[in-house]
Amino acid sequence: MPKLKKNKNNERLTKFRSPRGMYDILPIDQQYWDRIETAAKNLARSYNFHRIEPPILEDADLFRKTIGEESDVVEKEMYTLKTKGGDVLALRPEYTASNMRAYLQNSLSRIGQPQKLYNFGPVFRHDRPQLGRLREFWQIGFEIIGGTNDPIFDAQIILIFKSLLDELKIKNTVLKINSVGCRVCRPIYKKQLQNFYKNHEKELCEDCLRRLKTNPLRLLDCKNESCVKLKDKAPNFLDKLCVTCSAHFKEVLEYLDELKISYVLDNQLVRGLDYYSRTVFEIFAEGKESEIGALPGGGRYDYLMEFLGGHTTPAVGGACGVERLIAVMKAKEIIPAIKALKRVFVAHAGEMAKKKAFVLMKSLETEGIAISEALSKESLKAQLKAADKEGVPLALILGQKEIYESSVILRDMRTGLQESISLDRIVEEVKKRWK
């Protein structure tokens, strides 16, 4: 039998590991997760966004029809499965398509327009695991669906993500922004792009040769060295936008100016998905941390609802990867401040006292008092040592005598001073000490 590896504790590992590109979110990292979720929730509350959580599995066609067959997400990265009933479902690779489906299916437009929605949950992409690229990762999404396609909403989405980064103390970020036009100007631009690249076919990678026919905008997205070199010479979409798209983009930028949010115009930013129209954006950390990839990214998708068979519905939104935020926070040594939770340690001496201590814990918890214990240790000395190690300031001790007297010993762990308190006054006494 092959020798099994050992972990840091010298415990033998089993053959079971988390799947490649998928990780355990460990207790030690919860402070980051809590901080990020709280920041997102607070922003949602301030700007009146409401949480929506669609199912993790959806009809695979929902993503094919909206994100596009040609996109990497659908073509290479979607986890699909066939159910026993014969349905082909996919683990969601993103939220937008599901949100739009849910908006349509649940007639959310009736509640009011636009609908401001947010998400916080896992998505799945069978990508090659590398820096900033996991196969299961969490996204925070903010979307404004319905109403009018007012550029102020594009700016509001960008503002919210920018505020999220500020709130997490991720400073000096770089916002890249572009417009990918509409049904009027995009086909003309695509044609110009095709003409340009046709003269350089020999320099293109295999994927781009295919994209040249199917989705020429994606040529601007390619990371292949020889294709990258060509991008700078390619026609610039910003010069070719129709009057309406140009006015829309100008207004978005004016709102950003008004908010004093700086940006970089990036005419090569097209994003990988088919459903975008007009504004697209990505925000990066500064310096070395930018290598992790975009933190938030998003844009406008006014035609997506039509792909689903609904009426044209203006929509704009974006998503940010939580693991990337945490990686940047760690690299920049941003440690989330955690409010020390006040706790009392409950200790027992003897079997009868253990039962009473168990009941006491329940009454404390009901009163909102957090507890610590070392129930697996029977010796009182060992229990108090554990309390010391945890740094809990107050301990409540129950022994035989206390049971008969209906009292509890309250011990100040810092001074070692102890006093006997009647059981029916203990909650009040603990709260008084905390004040």
> According to CB under 6 A, which residues from 376 to 405 bind ligand AMP?
none
Please report how close the Cβ of residue 22 comes to ligand AMP at its closest, in angstroms: 11
Piece in contact with ligand AMP (CB under 6 A), picked from 4-12, 151-159, 316-324, 403-411: 316-324
Do the bridges between strand 264-265 and strand 407-412 make them parallel or antiparallel, or are there none, so unpaired?
Answer: unpaired
Piece in contact with ligand AMP (CB under 6 A), picked from 176-184, 220-228, 294-302, 349-357: 294-302
From 323, 327, 328, 345, residue interacting with ligand AMP (rule: CB under 6 A): 323
Place of tokens 């100040």: 412
From 114, 181, 297, 314, residue interacting with ligand AMP (rule: CB under 6 A): 297
From 180, 280, 320, 398, residue interacting with ligand AMP (rule: CB under 6 A): 320
CA end-to-end span of the chain, whole Å?
A: 60
When CB distances to ligand AMP are compared, the closest residue is 321
From 294, 357, 364, 380, residue interacting with ligand AMP (rule: CB under 6 A): 294
From 41, 133, 190, 354, residue interacting with ligand AMP (rule: CB under 6 A): 133
Piece in contact with ligand AMP (CB under 6 A), picked from 132-140, 232-240, 399-407, 409-417: 132-140
CB nearer to ligand AMP: pick between 218 and 324:
324
Alpha-carbon separation of residue 383 from 349, 360, 378, 417, 419 (angstroms): 9, 16, 7, 17, 18
CB nearer to ligand AMP: pick between 159 and 320:
320
CA 281 to CA 303: how far, in whole Å?
Answer: 18
Task: Name the helix (H) or strand (E) containing 345.
Answer: strand 343-348
Residue type, 388: D
The yes or no reply on residue 139 touching ligand AMP (CB under 6 A) is yes
From 324, 332, 348, 411, residue interacting with ligand AMP (rule: CB under 6 A): 324
> According to CB under 6 A, which residues from 67 to 126 bind ligand AMP?
94, 125
Piece in contact with ligand AMP (CB under 6 A), picked from 34-42, 48-56, 133-141, 309-317: 133-141
Which ranges of 173-321 does DSSP label H, i.e. alpha helix? 185-198, 206-214, 225-231, 237-240, 243-258, 304-307
The yes or no reply on residue 328 touching ligand AMP (CB under 6 A) is no
Do the bridges between strand 343-348 and strand 370-373 make them parallel or antiparallel, or are there none, so unpaired?
Answer: parallel
From 137, 197, 276, 301, residue interacting with ligand AMP (rule: CB under 6 A): 137
Query: Which distant-in-sequence residues (6+ apart) come within 8 Å of 357 by Cβ?
Result: 346, 347, 348, 373, 398
CB nearer to ligand AMP: pick between 125 and 240:
125
Piece in contact with ligand AMP (CB under 6 A), picked from 25-33, 56-64, 319-327, 351-359: 319-327
Alpha-carbon separation of residue 10 from 3, 23, 196 (angstroms): 13, 21, 61
Place of tokens 């939104």: 317
Please report how close the Cβ of residue 94 comes to ligand AMP at its closest, in angstroms: 5
Place of tokens 């959806």: 58
- Tally of CA atoms within 13 A in the half-sphere of 262 that contains its CB: 5
Place of tokens 């100016």: 257
> According to CB under 6 A, which residues from 150 to 179 bind ligand AMP?
none
Q: With 0-12 CB in 10 A as exposed, 13-18 as middle and 19+ as buried, what is 179?
A: buried
Long-range contacts made by residues 224-227, C-beta under 8 angstroms, separation at least 24? 227/203
Residue type, 217: L
CB nearer to ligand AMP: pick between 127 and 150:
127
- Give the binding site for ligand AMP (CB under 6 A): 94, 125, 127, 132-134, 137, 139, 293-297, 319-321, 323-324
